[in-house]
Amino acid sequence: MEAWSRRSLQILLLFSSISLQFFSGLSDDSSSSKKKVDSHATSHSSTGTKVVIICLALVAVGLFSFFLFKLYQKKKREEQYARLLKLFEEDDELELELGLRD
Can you give the C-alpha Rg of the chain in angstroms? 28
Residue 28 lies in a domain: no
Residue 49 lies in a domain: yes
Does residue 88 have a pLDDT over 80? no
Does residue 41 have a pLDDT over 60? no
**Number of neighbouring beta carbons within 10 Å of residue 11:** 14
Domain with 78, as residue range(s), is 2-22+37-98
Residue 14 lies in a domain: yes
Q: How many residues in the chain?
A: 102
pLDDT at 8: 74
Residue 30 lies in a domain: no
Residue 10 lies in a domain: yes
Mean residue pLDDT of the chain comes to: 77
Q: In degrees rounded to 5, what are phi and psi of residue 22?
A: -65, -45
| Total domains in the fold of the chain | 1
Residue 90 lies in a domain: yes
Does residue 64 have a pLDDT over 50? yes
Amino acid at 91: D
Distance CA(94)–CA(102), nearest Å, equals 12
Handedness of CA 44, 45, 51, 54 (dihedral sign): negative
This prediction has a pTM of 0.46
